[in-house]
Amino acid sequence: MKLLVTGGAGFIGSNFVRHVARERPDWEIVVYDLLTYAGDARNIEGLEQVRLDQADICDADRLDAAVRLSDAVVHFAAESHNDNSLDSPWPFVQTNLIGTYQVLEAVRRHGVRLHHISTDEVYGDLELDDPAKFTPQTPYNPSSPYSSTKAGSDLLVRAWVRSFEVQATISNCSNNYGPYQHVEKFIPRQITEVLDGRRPKLYGAGQNVRDWIHAEDHSSGVLTILERGQLGETYLIGAEGEQSNKDVVELLLTLMGRDPGDYDHVNDRPGHDLRYAIDASRLRDELGWRPLYQDFERGLAATVEWYRQNESWWRAQKAQTEAKYEVLGR
């Protein structure tokens, strides 16, 4: 198998690459990644069967040359941070929509299997007391420039499946955590604030709920769908990990030996989605997938330890990130 992984030097893409390198040691993997501020070649260092092709998915010729030599493409590359999309939406339109269009045209030209990575945010948000969770039948209702461009990318994939018989599957996953996540995101931001002797920053009242899954479980879900998923279908990936932001910050502070009330409330995110929740029963029942990291407190403690041990990995991005948040008052 010759596998092309777009965005494979980012947080989840590199987790997937390390996962596949362990689980399928005879596969050849090319990571096709522009190495934007969010990508880091160190994330995939030292893996024998992995080669990095540093290029843009919007560059049709470069992408075509890479896809032509592949048996399958897993498409992670995206602009991924909601706060950035509210500040500057254009890179999201470019990479998430135009980039996905180029990926689709390349796999169509060469008859290559595609798995498209997406998010639960395409479904909008739920009330705190809504008994329903997102399913593959939930209507799309995205809120932010990030989630609307991801929703648009999913719709392009569906159209290319139906109109051109592209052999594709889609997965929509909930919020990921684990090592190698950029410090702009909620959990690593708070961990590194505490490690720097500062206070975590909770948007608004902190009531918002996210459905947390360890990146390793996302990766095993994607590999399962790539190998055994039904072409043309959408699978939701989640591990029943709903937690309010306030509870996560308090748990982190406790795990790190600080008073659980030792955090600040800062300006809320405009249009802030209230709650996400995933029903992953299709992936569990039809494909037999099971998450391994179901103890959130243990997973979080291990993630704290990783950031404690790997300051050299995050130190350079920390100052830049906090300078951006300073301007936004968050």
Q: What element of type H or E holds 188?
A: helix 186-195
How is residue 6 annotated by DSSP? E
Beta strand residue intervals within the chain, DSSP E: 2-6, 28-32, 50-53, 72-75, 113-119, 168-173, 176-177, 201-203, 209-211, 213-214, 234-237, 242-244, 264-266
Structure tokens at 247: 């509870």
Using the rule CB under 6 A, is 96 a contact of ligand TDX?
no
120 is an active site residue: yes
Q: Based on CB atoms, which residue is closest to ligand TDX, 82 or 219?
A: 82
Q: Residue 56's CB: how many other CB atoms inside 10 A? A: 17
Structure tokens at 301: 């403690």
**Residue of 83, 120, 125, 211 marked active site:** 120
For the CB of residue 259, give the shortest distance to ligand NAD in the complex, in Å: 28
Report what 9 binds from ligand NAD, ligand TDX, none; CB cut-off 5-8 Å by kind.
ligand NAD
Q: Based on CB atoms, which residue is closest to ligand TDX, 38 or 50?
A: 38
Q: Based on CB atoms, which residue is closest to ligand TDX, 75 or 81?
A: 81
User: Phi and psi (nearest 5°) for 84?
Assistant: -65, -35
Q: Cβ-count burial of 36 within 10 angstroms (0-12 exposed, 13-18 middle, 19+ buried)? A: middle
Report what 245 binds from ligand TDX, ligand NAD, none; CB cut-off 5-8 Å by kind.
ligand TDX
User: Which one of the spans 175-183, 197-205, 269-277, 319-327 is the region binding ligand NAD (CB under 6 A)?
Assistant: 175-183
Distance CA 317, CA 258 (A): 24
Query: Which residue from 20, 34, 103, 236 is in contact with ligand NAD, where contact means CB under 6 A?
Result: 34
User: Phi and psi (nearest 5°) for 233?
Assistant: -95, 160
Using the rule CB under 6 A, is 214 a contact of ligand NAD?
no
SS3 202: strand
Q: Which of residues 216-275 bind ligand TDX (CB under 6 A)?
A: 245, 269
Q: Residue 114: beta bridge partners?
A: 73, 168
- 185: nearest Cα among 9, 324, 329, 15: 324
Query: Which residue from 5, 44, 66, 76 is in contact with ligand NAD, where contact means CB under 6 A?
Result: 76
Report what 95 binds from ligand NAD, ligand TDX, none; CB cut-off 5-8 Å by kind.
ligand NAD
Q: Which of residues 128-157 bind ligand NAD (CB under 6 A)?
A: 150
Tell me the number of residues near ligand NAD by CB under 6 A.
29
User: Which one of the spans 72-80, 100-108, 126-134, 303-311 is the region binding ligand NAD (CB under 6 A)?
Assistant: 72-80
Query: Which residue from 3, 20, 30, 78 is in contact with ligand NAD, where contact means CB under 6 A?
Result: 78
Report what 34 binds from ligand NAD, ligand TDX, none; CB cut-off 5-8 Å by kind.
ligand NAD
- 3: nearest Cα among 115, 150, 96, 135: 115
Using the rule CB under 6 A, is 10 a contact of ligand NAD?
yes
Residue 140's alpha-carbon distances to 22, 132, 159, 199, 213, in angstroms, are 35, 15, 15, 36, 22
Q: Which of residues 94-133 bind ligand NAD (CB under 6 A)?
A: 95, 99, 117, 119
Please give the residue ranges that form the binding site for ligand NAD (CB under 6 A). Answer: 6-7, 9-13, 33-36, 38-39, 56-58, 76-78, 80, 95, 99, 117, 119, 150, 173, 175-176, 182
**By the criterion CB under 6 A, which residues form the site for ligand TDX?**
80-82, 119, 121, 175, 185-186, 189, 201-203, 208, 210, 245, 269
